[in-house]
Amino acid sequence: MKGFIRKLLGLSLAAALAFSLAGCGSKGQNAAGEEGKIVNVGVTDSLGGLNPFVIDQTEINKYAVGLMFLPLMELDSELNFQGMLADSITTEDNINFVVHINEEATWSDGTPVTAEDVEYTVRRLASPVVNNTTLMLYAFEGVGDDGFVEEGAESVAGIQVIDDKTVQFTSKYPMALTTFENTYARYLHTLPKHVIEQFSEEELLTADWFNHPDVTNGPFLLTGFDNDHYISYEANKSYWKGAPKIDKLNIRIVDASQIYAGLQSGEIDITHHTMTAIPQEDFESIEALENVETVYGAPITNQSAFIQTANIPDARVRQALVYAIDRQQLVDQLLKGHGEVVDGFVSSASPFFSEEVTPIPYDPEKAKELLAEAGWDGSQTLRFYVNSGDSTFVNGAQVLVAQWAAVGIKVEVQTVDLATLMTVAGTTDYDILAVQYTYAPVDPYPDVDWLLSGEGSWTGYHSDEISQALAQTQQTSDIEKIRGFYAVVDKKVQEDVPMFSAYIISAQGAVSKRLSGATPSAYGFFNDVQNWDVVE
């Protein structure tokens, strides 16, 4: 099965603080003098846009759109799939996936949400004119290997309307139900056919309607946004799951260094475990605030370092890079102990975590031996790209550079913003590239498959052994067997080191005590946002 480039969960991007937004999380007046209950979510990711046909699937884009247009399914905080627009997804053969839309689902104008809305949305997403490859729709019958159908296609063989509330997706090859749910159902935001069919495929890319959609099936309506500063919403009083208890929701995009001050002043009411990169040096100060509660999440966000293997072809050198660094020291000092060290992709939060894979230890003498065997003369300087928005790892990168220098590896850090980092990632013009990456604990397959898919991936690495093990994860629902297959993957990654994990983060979240029904979490954060409320 071809790889799916997956949504980059937990990417941290610093942005300018914009406290001119409406109100705090209490009853009062907003900047326009309007009364109401207003909640401000503080994040450090910057928005890429709100047009589902244009955006990639980074986390803030996904959730910002999802507040207006529900995904079919979503993970809850306990890593169970929860129906959002759909109430069930079933398969009997891991080929045909039957999606049933909730009978109660309606658009804000009162029109029922139908299977035709789903089919039409997916068909337009697969248009070569739209040219959005992030959903990897080539997995389905009738879609080309490039992820597209013919321009203006009136149907797709692999996406069939069964009745008003049922649509069937047919894959070209076996796919685990969890892969379908996690890769597609969580990221398909269904749009109103009766509205967007007025636009040509070209117009879908630029139509102003997407900047202020007036027909949604989610809990909120957009009132304004600035990609680097804020996204503002008002309640969809016609939301079919119940009108939100709050009147307005703002997502404030701030610099990580300003989260503490915002929580302290009440100008930020709640943070998100992966969209909000709280600096570890602020953990204790936030814990001490009397007006908020702190919540640490499970270790799921991987500070991954991807090695462009074409530029560092000798596995012994790549192994030396790992032996040379004291990763437990990073957890203890940078993360204040809120994290763990693993090798590979699967953290202890996953049902597929295997204790058989023991992390490579800190052993600088072993690193030197491997470098000597590889004939490393120390003359090469490796280019190490790091996200400037992740202040914790910017500091951590300097520790790594010093430890690498101690064994004879010269490394130069290039600190760039997230947009630039992602541009660099699409090239081979780097040696090491570090970014926070959340591999879905319930289904790491799509991420791992793409990242190790050979030429064109971030690593340029491919292993038949890994490909076979990954393919087998799609053939069974037996957790023990799947755990064994991922152990094969992680052991091989440990051996060949196309990537390594600097550490896994147990992220800190914080929520104002004046909010009810809202809890920081990596998953399920907005699932029941209609129940959030402000209490006196």
| pLDDT tens-digit readout, 490-504 | 999 999 999 999 999
The reported pLDDT for the residue numbered 267 is: 96
Return the structure tokens found at 185: 């159902």
The reported pLDDT for the residue numbered 258 is: 96
What's the topology of domain 301-505?
Dipeptide-binding Protein; domain 3 (3.10.105)
Is the per-residue pLDDT at 26 higher than 60?
A: no
Return the structure tokens found at 359: 């992390």
| pLDDT tens-digit readout, 32-87 | 344 689 999 999 988 888 999 998 878 899 999 999 999 999 999 989 999 999 99
The reported pLDDT for the residue numbered 446 is: 85
The reported pLDDT for the residue numbered 392 is: 85
113 or 281, which is more confident = 113
The reported pLDDT for the residue numbered 455 is: 84
Residue intervals of the chain classified under CATH 3.40.190.10 are 1-68+218-297+508-536
- The stretch 446-472 carries a mean pLDDT of 92
- The stretch 426-450 carries a mean pLDDT of 90
The reported pLDDT for the residue numbered 3 is: 35
The reported pLDDT for the residue numbered 281 is: 85
Tokens 């003369």 found at: 377
The reported pLDDT for the residue numbered 90 is: 96
The reported pLDDT for the residue numbered 46 is: 86
The reported pLDDT for the residue numbered 336 is: 87
Is the per-residue pLDDT at 282 higher than 70?
A: yes
* Alpha carbons 380 and 365: distance in angstroms, whole number: 20
The reported pLDDT for the residue numbered 28 is: 46
Name the percent of the chain lying above pLDDT 90: 79
The reported pLDDT for the residue numbered 314 is: 98
Instruction: Determine the length of the chain.
Output: 536
- The stretch 409-435 carries a mean pLDDT of 92
Residue intervals of the chain classified under CATH 3.90.76.10 are 69-194
- Report in angstroms the alpha-carbon separations of 251 from 45, 108, 248, 297: 10, 22, 10, 21
* Alpha carbons 302 and 341: distance in angstroms, whole number: 9
| pLDDT tens-digit readout, 185-228 | 999 999 999 999 999 999 999 999 999 999 999 999 999 999 99
The reported pLDDT for the residue numbered 245 is: 98
Return the structure tokens found at 462: 């491919």
The reported pLDDT for the residue numbered 21 is: 38
Task: Quote the mean pLDDT of the chain.
Answer: 91
- The stretch 329-354 carries a mean pLDDT of 93
Q: 325: closest CA among 347, 343, 308?
A: 343
Q: Name the pLDDT band for 415 (thresholds 50, 70, 90).
A: very high
Superfamily for domain range 69-194: Dipeptide-binding Protein; Domain 1 (3.90.76.10)
Q: Give the β-pairing of 86-90 and 301-307.
A: unpaired
- The stretch 459-482 carries a mean pLDDT of 91
Superfamily for domain range 1-68+218-297+508-536: Periplasmic binding protein-like II (3.40.190.10)
- Are 250 and 22 contacting, i.e. CB atoms less than 8 angstroms apart? yes
- What is the DSSP code string of 206-240? T-GGGGS-S--SSSEEEEEEETTTEEEEEE-TT-T
Residue intervals of the chain classified under CATH 3.10.105.10 are 301-505
The reported pLDDT for the residue numbered 20 is: 36
* Alpha carbons 131 and 53: distance in angstroms, whole number: 8
Tokens 């202040």 found at: 391
At 268, the amino acid letter reads I
